Amino acid sequence: MRSMKERMLAGEPYLAEGPEILADLQRAARLMERVNTSPADDSDARLAALRELLGELGDDTWIRPPFYCDYGYHIRIGPRSFVNFNAVFLDVAPITIGADVQVGPNVQLLTPTHPVDPEQRRAKWEAAKPITIADNVWLGGGAIVLAGVTIGENTVVGAGAVVTKDLPANVVAVGNPARPVRRLDDPASDHPASPSD
């Protein structure tokens, strides 16, 4: 019989319990504490903790504390990206962020899903779907990206938007649920957007 961690890593329904999962959560909590309490003038200590916490951290990428995640090892961030204050990356499934991505404050990337059936939810079953953010995306402050979503390269997501479905490359998307309102490769488009950090 497969362990709950093996089920979680395979994207199957699982219970967030058992020694392996609890040990991984505690490891991440210790490393997040190091990241979030490191002295402001000691960027080397913060960077070392982030490199230990995350699955991958690209060169010249910066994450401003506080930063929160579930496990850390499911998060891969490409080079030259920036993550502002109060990011919440719930990485039960993989979160992949490309190069040159800008993430505003209070952004949430949420891979977990929960059953609609009340009995299964009461029994604490959950699952997760990966999130992929392509190169040169800008997520405005307070944006929320839900499980299973892919955002195409160069796309801008407005402040406070809730992304429930995939977004193509080269668009500005706003609202709840987020919808493209402008193509970035169409100079005739005059729909304004206000993504905002």
Phi-psi region of 145 (alpha: psi -120 to 50; beta: other; left: phi over 0): beta
| Contact (CB, 8 A) for 160 and 140 | yes
CA separation (Å) from 162 to 80, 109, 171, 175, 177? Answer: 25, 10, 15, 7, 5
Which sequence positions are flagged as catalytic? Answer: 114
Torsion of the alpha carbons at 3, 9, 13 and 19, rounded to the nearest 10: 40
Instruction: Go through 149-159 and write b for each residue having 16 or more CB atoms within 10 A of its CB, e for each that does not.
Output: bbbbbbbbbbb
Instruction: Look up residue 143 and give its amino acid.
Output: A
DSSP 167: B
